[in-house]
Structure 1
């Protein structure tokens, strides 16, 4: 019974991880017009846009699919024999006994914690910036410098949140006890290529975010001058209080 409950308790945590990913990688506002991105026109595309919308949509779809497969594997283990024995082979690339390896682990808990905190932070940032929050680097019409809420703690809290969610997602979905690690998909060439490309794309996001911080600070300083300088003195850290 404890083993059954342990695996079943993973389902709501997986759903929280899925929701955190959805919130983090879904823009709260439409794409900005090109003229509002003009002050960033000299910035490299990869820093300005991070990822084309179709890449973002594909990554989000793969992430949600991996979570669905893991939830389905856990549920199938406890369905009546005829049904479970029919579903499990569709979710396992080696023997169906591999499904028993999908379980709660300390790595998964750490990943879920990062996703949960990061997702909540991301929501607070969306609310604080309102219409000014865009996935593209841009200075919007009648733009104002937001310095309260999470932006009074660090200057780029939404990037901190995004980095937490991406790291948390990798821990949740690739660590020991995950569907990706236990199902046997990594034992196939196609599976390995798919997972490696997906993981590399997800891991690339925090790197670009760190590169983007300096560019955004530079443009905001030019745009808001003394107001930005006063804010930077009050809020000296960019991503992590007391560290950086």
Structure 2
């Protein structure tokens, strides 16, 4: 598929990623905040999602710049952009919109949309840090009527889609020669490690959240858990 198709897909998916990894509210107070495990520290300090967003946005901007410079060579500085963003062994000609890229863009956009709906459903109760806030209540409507932890579904979709977009054949990372550089290899390993740590931390946090909300809501939580038995994916998990 024509590479120019990638530009609107990248822009829309980056909006989705922005929604997924940007805290909608200030952090809770120390009294409201639950104790974090070592794997949750990156989420609690908000540094992990910020670094993932910075890496993805930088790569996305590089890819858009290369596509624009290649297919609109009369743009100012097109030659300069290509000289800086295409490395030895790489080629702008190989950058394309592969099926894997399109699926990754869809995942990232859908993840951001789900995450946004969770922000709307929970309001000020939604924080990146696990907390029980003043006047906290159990919300069972909206995305919480489908799975018990849709916010986690959203962020895991978004970051998995982001990795698929930038790591698939036809991407700037794969085709520009950038991945052969030491810096890009280090950044890729760092981002992959952050994503793995965030994912593991979220999985470990789910039973803690269930327990905390069970203590808060009692029978109402029991009734909700019977109606909504799945944590992340309907009919699967």
Normalised by the size of structure 2, how large is the TM-score? Answer: 0.93
Q: 2:6 aligns with which of 10, 19, 28?
A: 10
8 Å contact 1:27–1:134 — kept in the other structure?
Answer: yes
Instruction: Output the CA distance in 2 between the equivalents of 1:161 and 1:54.
Output: 18
Q: How does 1:200-211 map to 2 (within 5 A)?
A: 200-211=193-204
Kindly state the Cα deviation for residue 51 of structure 1 after the two structures are TM-superposed: 5.0
Q: Structure 1 residues 65, 51: CA separation in 2 closer, same or farther (over 3 Å shift)?
A: farther
SS at match of 2:106: helix
Q: State whether structure 2 residue 54 is matched by structure 1 residue 90.
A: no
8 Å contact 2:42–2:48 — kept in the other structure?
Answer: no
Instruction: Output the CA distance in 1 between the equivalents of 2:172 and 2:193.
Output: 18
Kindly state the Cα deviation for residue 56 of structure 1 after the two structures are TM-superposed: 2.9
Q: How does 1:32-71 map to 2 (within 5 A)?
A: 32-37=28-33, 40-41=34-35, 43-47=36-40, 50=43, 52-71=45-64
Q: 2:211 aligns with which of 211, 218, 222?
A: 218
1:187 counterpart residue number:
180
Instruction: Output the CA distance in 1 between the equivalents of 2:112 and 2:19.
Output: 7
Normalised by the size of structure 1, how large is the TM-score? Answer: 0.91
Give every structure 1 segment of 4 or more consecutive aligned residues whose post-TM-superposition deviation is greater than 4 Å. Answer: none
Kindly state the Cα deviation for residue 59 of structure 1 after the two structures are TM-superposed: 2.4
8 Å contact 2:39–2:197 — kept in the other structure?
Answer: no
Q: 2:158 aligns with which of 165, 182, 186?
A: 165
Q: 1:155 aligns with which of 133, 148, 151?
A: 148
SS at match of 2:222: helix
Kindly state the Cα deviation for residue 45 of structure 1 after the two structures are TM-superposed: 4.0
Instruction: Output the CA distance in 1 between the equivalents of 2:187 and 2:146.
Output: 38
8 Å contact 2:40–2:198 — kept in the other structure?
Answer: no
Structure 1 unmatched ranges of 5 or more? none
8 Å contact 1:48–1:136 — kept in the other structure?
Answer: no
Structure 2 unmatched ranges of 5 or more? none
For this pair of structures, how many residues does the alignment match? 236
Say which is worse superposed, 53-62 or 66-75, in terms of deviation.
53-62
Say which is worse superposed, 206-215 or 178-187, in terms of deviation.
206-215
Instruction: Output the CA distance in 2 between the equivalents of 1:80 and 1:134.
Output: 45
Q: CA RMSD in A?
A: 1.7
Kindly state the Cα deviation for residue 201 of structure 1 after the two structures are TM-superposed: 1.4
Deviations 1:103-143 (A, max 9, x none): 10011011011112111111111100011100000000010
Say which is worse superposed, 199-208 or 212-221, in terms of deviation.
199-208
